[in-house]
Amino acid sequence: MITHRMADKLGLRGKDVSLTITKVGNSTEQLDSKIYKVPITDLTGTEWTIEACGINEITSDITEVDTAFIARLFGVEE
């Protein structure tokens, strides 16, 4: 995956596609996106081209997890 903002910054032009993304909890989301051809260089200097799906955000803020509760569930100290 690559953000559309980064693709723009790299001067990449994408091909329009429709994606179905399955998220945690098996909920799915349909969205219009782009497939970008992204050039990358490995440690030996060889350049490769990969295809990456464009998305507005790769991740977002998550809520805090109550680790004390989980520790009690498993009978371990926090």
The residues, any chain, with a CB within 8 Å of residue 39's CB and separated by 6 or more, are: 47, 48, 49
Q: Which phi and psi (to 5°) does residue 9 adopt?
A: -60, -35
- Residue given tokens 């990969």 in the structure block: 50
Task: Give this prediction's pTM.
Answer: 0.65
If you search the block for the tokens 């349909």, which residue do you land on?
A: 30
pLDDT in tens, 13-46: 999 999 898 988 889 989 899 999 999 999 999 9
Give the whole-angstrom CA distance, residue 67 versus residue 65: 6
Q: Which of 64, 13, 75 is nearest to 38 (CA)?
A: 13
What's residue 45's pLDDT? Answer: 97
